[in-house]
Amino acid sequence: MVCETPEDLEAGKKLFGGRAWMRKPCDPESCPEYQKEECRFSGRIYFMIPGVKGMGSFVIPTKSFYSMKRVKKTLRDMYQLTNGRIAYLLHNGETIFVLRKVKATIPCIDWEKGETKMRQQYLIDLDVVVDPLEVAKEYSVERVLQKGARAMTMLGAGVDSTDDASAATDGGAAETGSPSSSENRAETQNEQRLTYREERPEKKLAPEAPKNGNGRKEMDGDQKAAITKMAARYRIEAETLDKVLAGVKSYDEAAKVIGELNRGDISRFLPAPA
């Protein structure tokens, strides 16, 4: 929890863009403003509505701790089911979340009597309108690997289809000639295709320049533990993880792998194309 408060003004100092806000640690039990009810818990839920055009997002402010607790629990559960995917989460092209206003019985404290009592209050509830297990299957590591393999196949098929189309065009023009000339031309086209693929160099990324001397620094134990922990969250096989760790030598390279995993990028752990 953080406390957001306007920055103090200085006499004679003109501010550009208005008064800024600052953050400081929040400890309600020892905060005099909170004890005097000058400060209260508040939160905002930003969301978009399917079918409503525009880049602006809708906002629902709330001062209910129980509402925020319900929303955070739903997001946390879906975060675990989808291996870290929350933003723009779709299932079969449709959104999976729905915001509702529900009436619930919650406990509250009567400060005058020092007793706990129950009362009814409307709360903001975030729910899921699809089967969570179906969403978990769609965003599982196996399904992500299948999508990656399918994309690689489509890209490879696009290159081959171009070559096949040129071969078919040349073959159609050669049908009027003798069979021997057609066979010779097909062999020549195959040789040219193989030569083109062999001469085409593979693109290799240039190694990044070391920053602050970390390029000569070896990967430390904390970085290795962080990579191992995030790999376990994405259900990456131990054998694949060991191969990646064996190829990570420097401090900067380990930091790059951690950054990729934080963004949900596991391409480094995907099997190399045959």
33 and 60 co-located in one domain = no
pTM for the model stands at 0.45
49 and 127 co-located in one domain = yes
1 and 76 co-located in one domain = no
- Most confident residue range from 77-81, 82-86, 209-213: 77-81
Q: Tell me the CA distances in angstroms from 124 to 65, 90, 272, one per residue in order.
A: 10, 21, 47
132 and 55 co-located in one domain = yes
52 and 127 co-located in one domain = yes
Handedness of CA 152, 155, 157, 163 (dihedral sign): negative
pLDDT at 194: 47
pLDDT at 143: 73
Q: What's the structural domain count of the chain?
A: 2
pLDDT for 44 beyond 60 = yes
Q: Are 214 and 245 contacting, i.e. CB atoms less than 8 angstroms apart?
A: no
Distance CA 267, CA 260 (A): 9
76 and 133 co-located in one domain = yes
Q: Is residue 132 one of the residues assigned to a domain?
A: yes
Q: Is residue 168 one of the residues assigned to a domain?
A: no
Q: Is residue 101 one of the residues assigned to a domain?
A: yes
35 and 93 co-located in one domain = no
Q: Which of 91, 116, 138 is the last residue of a domain?
A: 138
Distance CA 164, CA 57 (A): 48
Q: Is residue 166 one of the residues assigned to a domain?
A: no
13 and 72 co-located in one domain = no
Q: How confident is the model at residue 96 (pLDDT cuts 50, 70, 90)?
A: confident
Handedness of CA 112, 118, 124, 128 (dihedral sign): positive
Least confident of 73-87, 147-161, 172-186, 207-221: 172-186
12 and 97 co-located in one domain = no
Q: Which of 138, 154, 184 is the last residue of a domain?
A: 138
Which residues form the domain of 109?
A: 43-138
Distance CA 229, CA 29 (A): 35
> 5 has which bridge partners?
22
Q: Is residue 230 one of the residues assigned to a domain?
A: no
74 and 116 co-located in one domain = yes
> 25 has which bridge partners?
2
pLDDT, tens digit, for every residue of 102-115? 998 888 887 777 78
Taking all residues of the chain, what is their mean pLDDT, rounded to a whole number?
75
Q: Is residue 268 one of the residues assigned to a domain?
A: no
Q: Is residue 195 one of the residues assigned to a domain?
A: no
Cα-Cα-Cα-Cα dihedral of 115, 116, 119, 122, to 10°? 120
Q: Which of 78, 105, 138 is the last residue of a domain?
A: 138
48 and 36 co-located in one domain = no
49 and 24 co-located in one domain = no
Q: Is residue 122 one of the residues assigned to a domain?
A: yes
Residue 108 backbone phi and psi in degrees, to 5:
-140, 165
